[in-house]
Amino acid sequence: MTMFWVAALALTMLLYVLLDGFDLGVGILFLFSREELNRRRMLSAISPVWDGNETWLVLTGTILFGAFSRVFALALSAFYLPVVIGVCALILRGVAFEFRHKATMTRAFWDVAFAGGSLVATFAQGMMVGALAEGLPIANGQYVGGSFGWLSPFSLLCGTGLCVGYALLGASWLVKKCEGRLRDAAYAVLPWLMLGVVLFLAIAFVYALANNLRIMNRWLERPYLAVFPFIGVLAVLGLLDGVKRRMDDRPFLMASIIFGAAFATLAASFWPYMVPFTITIAEGVSPPESTWFMFWGAGLIALPLTLGYTVVVYRVFRGKVIDTIEYE
């Protein structure tokens, strides 16, 4: 049962990063488009799926709360401020998405709110990942870093890197879903965003070496971890080839593989820790009564149901955005 919930947590986190990542990326790119028609096309490209994508964040929090309550308590103690800021940004983004369609005098405000909410939510997520990778100030199993113990140059770097990464996913999605000048603009920006992601990874690697971060020792202990970056490099080449050959479906697939490889690299580097390098899976899992209780509801019903409707929605709304379709 423990491994079931570990696998479920990994699945929900990865799907959230990939699915909500691209619509947050579209939000980040939103203000770079000055044409109202293109902005409507961008929103139409994500309108059938964006709110459903955030369901995976809810499931992730549910699994942490019920199946790994000690990890949930420690993480929330450390990241209370960025979590609150990120959630508020997601709320603002959702409100702006709905309001800007009906607004006239205040449309520019809601445009900024939509893009700003997307950017702030992404940046907060990246900072939390960076703080976990760098290591939180923890003593006797308790967080002791205060309100800003997670804040560091490395966490700020990771926040910036995730913004560029989500923008890469967003541009790849626009290539997949749109036509005309918007697709051409997305194609034009993809190589630059890919360069930004590679540059971020290089800087993060040098920073980790220079500061002797503990996570680097895992690479010496587990040289097989190099297989995941190798897969990522192949995906980078595949993405650039897809851009060169104008293969609309290729960039998003390759960008998803890049994120999957990065996710697998982090997960394998932390294993068997859930909070590096403080709480292991065995230490963080809730009592068997809790994990079994959750299994009959969240495990057998909520998780398969969410997977099912996600597949159906993406199947139903496949294909390119048509100009006559208005987002609602």
Residue range 56-83, pLDDT digits in tens: 999 999 999 989 999 999 989 999 999 9
227 in any annotated domain = yes
- % of residues, the chain, pLDDT over 70: 98
**Count of structural domains within the chain:** 1
Say which residue, 146 or 185, is predicted with more confidence. 185
The predicted model gives 279-299 an average pLDDT of 89
Average predicted confidence (pLDDT) for the chain: 89
- Tokens 């409100």 belong to which residue? 95
pLDDT at 220 over 80: no
The band of 328, judged by pLDDT with boundaries at 50, 70 and 90, is very low
83's CB contacts (< 8 A; 6+ apart) are: 76, 124, 128
Say which residue, 222 or 181, is predicted with more confidence. 181
pLDDT at position 222: 77
pLDDT at 277 over 90: no
pLDDT, one tens digit per residue, over 106-135 is 888 999 999 999 999 999 999 999 998 888
328 in any annotated domain = no
168 in any annotated domain = yes
pLDDT, one tens digit per residue, over 239-251 is 999 999 999 999 9
Cα–Cα distance between 38 and 87 in angstroms, integer? 27
118 in any annotated domain = yes
pLDDT at position 145: 83
Choose among 93, 10, 68, 61: nearest CA to 264: 10
Name the residue range of residue 229's domain: 2-316
pLDDT at position 323: 64
Choose among 171, 316, 192: nearest CA to 251: 171
pLDDT at 269 over 50: yes
**Phi, psi angles (nearest 5°) of residue 104:** -120, -65
323 in any annotated domain = no
59 in any annotated domain = yes
pLDDT, one tens digit per residue, over 166-189 is 999 999 999 999 988 899 999 999
Choose among 13, 16, 45, 52: nearest CA to 29: 45
**Structure-block tokens of residue 77:** 């103690």
Choose among 219, 233, 232: nearest CA to 268: 219
Cα–Cα distance between 43 and 100 in angstroms, integer? 10
The predicted model gives 151-173 an average pLDDT of 95
**Structure-block tokens of residue 255:** 């960008």
DSSP state of 106: T
The band of 265, judged by pLDDT with boundaries at 50, 70 and 90, is confident
Contact by Cβ (8 Å): 175, 187: yes
pLDDT at position 272: 87
The predicted model gives 227-238 an average pLDDT of 92
pLDDT at position 325: 45
pLDDT at position 207: 85
Helix (H, G, I), strand (E, B) or coil at 319: coil
Contact by Cβ (8 Å): 107, 100: yes
16 in any annotated domain = yes
81 in any annotated domain = yes
User: CATH number for the domain including 220?
Assistant: 1.20.1630
Single pTM value for the model: 0.93
pLDDT at 28 over 90: yes
The predicted model gives 227-236 an average pLDDT of 92
pLDDT at position 138: 85
Choose among 83, 54, 80, 75: nearest CA to 142: 75
Contact by Cβ (8 Å): 163, 124: no
Helices assigned H by DSSP within 246-294:
250-270, 281-284, 288-294
The band of 258, judged by pLDDT with boundaries at 50, 70 and 90, is very high
**Structure-block tokens of residue 176:** 């997949």
